[in-house]
Structure 1
């Protein structure tokens, strides 16, 4: 009887989570499997996607310097956005954590408020700001800092700026969650022992918020590497990244197997980087949680 009760107790979590698991499989895993299968199909310009299988699509993407440059550009974009999000988001979160109410709540709402707005709308706003006749260039020329407009739209610089604005809130949320676990008395103890504010931050605060920084970096990197709307609107047709290249293959040349191959390789690269960073975090910061 006791064994039967234990079996029921062990099966209860699976039964309760079954609807969510089925929904997850139906909306995510099934499309991913179908995309993976599509990537092995042969494409004919006259007949479309054929019911034969080949590895030629993967060989083409891996060996073609054109796609290599696109993947390299995407990696550089993701690393640049991640670095800027760290430099902007971490100090911003520390300042927010030390604010008093109600200013803390108001400023936190201002920081996280852009998440309530569509990415497309925010990107169009940055397109207006960064344009040759936009607010930024008009202000720079009015202050006599530049004599002519700076070209920011359809450049990597403009894409990095817009994506950083889009993704900084994710870094803030990750670091904020870690800071909430930080005991202020530990900092006060360090200050009372004669340590400078910088040394307290470097020896006490920074090691404890690094897991949050790393978690935020993983999120920002994955989202920026797979971003589509912002690079498409700010970067244009010439400045291609992996997501826009896959889009062009699907809807431009109608080469669905090649587009699926690009999407699968992007997914694999993201998973490898995320798992590698997670393993690094587990080994590096294990002593913090022990």
Structure 2
């Protein structure tokens, strides 16, 4: 008995010693900067006096009292939610088709799907800016040629343009999350349903979707979190007037130099995303429990 206790104690010490470097790195690059940012959000700032290390709630009161900040956060989450919905609508069928492919075609189309991740987000967004252009942009010309619109649509410096660019940038995360869930799906179940008289739509709706829903929810969490905290795409496509939380924090830090207010905006965005992710994870776990009950 004592030998087993000693062995377990030795294994625990070995595990802690192996995890210590990673824990120190995590503490140094994540925990400490976050703690400093939270502390900074409670400091005071003045145009002539700079940052004063005093504990006040002025920055938080300003954020919650001013409707400007409420609109900013509402726009942030609205754009992120729309981008998430678009990636789900187009990404789930893409993942399903990719999973049904065979041979070299699967590898080729997988490379096409993850291609945006191999390009800088700034380069991708500038590419969308060139496509959107103005009234004579390539996107408007193509839509008018196809007869989908009668007059040019404004994409630059609009939420529509931000949603499209973000959905394109985040699509690989949704596809890969759903594709991973599809790997655990036995194709013989679909064949059995078809042999029993179910049509393809019924198989997808009653068999495939319920089993890949955890993957869809996982992809939605990733896409929503990255879209809500994105900076480059909203800054380029949205411009300076159509701000989101990330660009607002950037302006407060580097333009107005009001670091405490920028820190409060960043901390509030982080808290909101953590609450959303935790709630979504609880939903996913409950879904798993219902599936395997």
**Paired residue for 1:178?**
181
Which of 3, 6, 10 lines up with 1:4 in the alignment? Answer: 6
Deviation at 1:148, TM superposition (A): 4.7
Which of 108, 111, 124 lines up with 2:110 in the alignment? Answer: 108
Q: Equivalents in 1 of 2:250, 2:175: separation in Å?
A: 30
Deviation at 1:60, TM superposition (A): 0.8
TM-score under structure 2 normalisation? 0.95
Which of 247, 252, 257 lines up with 2:255 in the alignment? Answer: 252
Deviation at 1:194, TM superposition (A): 1.3
Any unmatched runs of 5+ in structure 1?
Answer: none
**Paired residue for 1:137?**
140
SS at match of 1:237: coil
Any unmatched runs of 5+ in structure 2?
Answer: none
Deviation at 1:147, TM superposition (A): 5.7
The alpha-carbon distance between structure 1 residues 143 and 197, as it changes in their structure 2 partners (threshold 3 A), is closer
SS at match of 2:54: strand
Which of 64, 67, 70 lines up with 2:66 in the alignment? Answer: 64
Q: Equivalents in 2 of 1:54, 1:138: separation in Å?
A: 54
Q: Deviations over 1:13-64 (max 9, x none)?
A: 2211211111111111111111001001011111110021101111110121
The alpha-carbon distance between structure 1 residues 207 and 144, as it changes in their structure 2 partners (threshold 3 A), is closer
Q: How many residues align?
A: 290
**Paired residue for 1:34?**
36
**Paired residue for 2:284?**
281
Deviation at 1:97, TM superposition (A): 0.5
**Paired residue for 2:191?**
188
SS at match of 1:200: helix
**Paired residue for 1:54?**
56
Note if contact 2:214-2:287 (Cα within 8 Å) is conserved in structure 1. Answer: no
Which of 229, 232, 237 lines up with 2:232 in the alignment? Answer: 229
Which of 259, 262, 265 lines up with 1:262 in the alignment? Answer: 265
TM-score under structure 1 normalisation? 0.96
Deviation at 1:209, TM superposition (A): 0.3
Q: Equivalents in 1 of 2:147, 2:211: separation in Å?
A: 45
